[in-house]
Structure 1
Amino acid sequence: PPPSAGNSVNVSVGLQPLRDPSAKVNPLDPARPVFVDGEALDHPGGLLLMLHKPTGFVCSHDEREGPRVYDLLPPRWRVRNPQVTSIGRLDKDTSGLLILTDRTELVHTYTSPRHKVPKLYRATLDRDVPASLVDLFAAGTLQLDGEKAPCAPATLRLPAPRVAELVLVEGKYHQVRRMFAAAAGATVLTLHRECFGKLTLGDLKPGEYREINESEI
């Protein structure tokens, strides 16, 4: 049966109305853009965003866990299918660079252990960090409780007595916090991710985001 007036939409390709509902179109063809009720399709090729995650937000989609990073996005992006999700996670008390996308192939690629994307974290700790941790972390021999394999080699810099910059190429659960606790009995007080691959936050303020290209990662 024909659609009711409340459900009907006007679709056009380029400047031409689309009258055949069985016709196939390429929404990614820039020469023939698709419009629905006069509005261009919203990111038909998918979303890819860099967000400056503030502390206090979770990467879960479950509203019961608290404010979500997705709540920082426009409402229309929260109902996309596939849904927008994060590439990896930052816990509620961690701030910094977070990539969001609805392109599931990118999520699989950049969370795969085979795709060793370097990620730079800056941490402040409750005590001085011993210089011996530089070699320990680089050796790739640190074993965390509950893990089958030791941590992959990581680069540690100590710009100040209680400040550490750590580059990881993997993403074990709460890894930065657990590494300092296991190696030095230290508690991480603040944790911020500054870089993901080639990406840096630049002048993005907490809660702000911008669109990125895959070539930037």
Structure 2
Amino acid sequence: MRLDKFICHAKGITRSECKRLLHRGMVTVNQEIVKNPGLKVSSSDDVVLSGASIQRFEDIYILLHKPPGYVCSHLDDGAPSALNLLPESFDAFKAKLSFAGRLDADTTGLVLLSTDGQWVHRVTSPKQKRSKSKQYRVTLARSLLDAEARAVESGLILKGEPTPTRPCVITLHSDTQCDIELSEGRYHQVRRMFAAVGNHVDALHRFAMGNIRLDDSINPGAHRPLTQQEIEFFNND
């Protein structure tokens, strides 16, 4: 891990604040003053800031099953934050957690959170490959016609946007229920795509992002840590 990232995570300070401390010679690594923020440090290194040893901070990677009525925000913005679903043992880390792909209050399902900002960026980057897609279960207000499904799959111009949506894949389960697989993440995209063909989404549930799937063992409101394989999937572009 980079020295500046290590210090920022451990002390809860910004990257610019960390650089000022390094420039002033306030940081030593293995008893030597270090001013290079990009120096790689490991768990065996002794990092000291202003005379006090810094305990190594391990990044957290979480899958959360978000129930309806919660927002993906650090603030209770008209509804309680999904962070409130995490137990008290996470209280010291909640301010450092970022949402890797948000859901609106009415949408349920898989939400990823991490203290690793670079990993969150890779998960949410619009340049992500198709293999890093998102999958949703959609319940519609009325039957989806074949022509409407083909239009959604082919790509649509959404109101206020100059470019069409990327091609996607729809799998029908019934006249009013389907799965949709997207390779991008625009604002309220699924709801807006079906509205564009004259339908309405009654219920929306995300059950997969890339290789990470929400299985039946994770109840609404519950969470689990990601496996190393799940974490590394988004590191391999």
Relative to the length of structure 1, the TM-score reads: 0.77
| Partner of residue 130, structure 1 | 145
Contact kept? 1:77, 1:84, Cα under 8 Å: no
Matches within 5 A, 1:132-211: 132-140=147-155, 142-183=156-197, 185-202=198-215, 203-211=217-225
Give a deviation string over 1:98-131, Cα, whole Å, max 9, x none.
1011110011111111113211101111100011
Q: Which is helix-richer, 1 or 2?
A: 2
Instruction: Output one character per residue of 1:4-51: Cα deviation in whole Å (capped at 9) or x when no partner.
Output: xxxxxxxxxxxxxxxxx976479853x7999xxxxxx6x822110001
Alpha-carbon distance, 1:186 to partner: 1.1
Tell me by how many angstroms 1:58 deviates: 0.2
Q: Deviations over 1:126-182 (max 9, x none)?
A: 100011233223323x10001121100010111101112100011101000000000
CA contact (8 A) 1:134 1:157 kept: no
Paired residue total: 187
Aligned partners of 1:133 and 1:156 also within 8 Å: no
Cα distance between partner residues in 2 of 1:71 and 1:120: 25
> Structure 1 residues 27 and 79 mapped into 2: Cα distance closer, same or farther (>3 Å)?
farther
> Do the aligned partners of 1:53 and 1:206 also contact (CA within 8 Å) in 2?
yes
Task: Tell me the alpha carbon deviations over residues 86-108 of structure 1, each in whole angstroms, 9 at most, x when there is no partner.
Answer: 10110000000110111100111
Do structure 1's residue 87 and structure 2's residue 100 form an aligned pair? yes
RMSD over aligned Cα atoms: 2.5
Aligned-partner Cα distance in 1 for 2:41–2:90 = 18
Q: Give how far 1:73 is off.
A: 1.4
- Note if 1:114 corresponds to 2:124: no
Mark the CA change 1:172 to 1:103 in structure 2 (over 3 Å): closer, same or farther: same
Question: In the alignment, is the contact (CA less than 8 A) between 2:29 and 2:45 conserved in 1?
Answer: no
- Residue in 2 that maps onto 1:73: 86
Give the distance between the partners of 1:96 and 1:109, measured in 2 at CA: 20
Identity %: 36
AA at the equivalent of 1:115: Q
Whole-angstrom distance in 2 between the partners of 1:211 and 1:139:
36
**Structure 1: tracts of 5 or more residues without a match:** 1-20, 35-40
- SS of equivalent residue, structure 2 residue 171: strand
> Gaps (5+ residues) in structure 2?
1-25, 31-39, 48-54
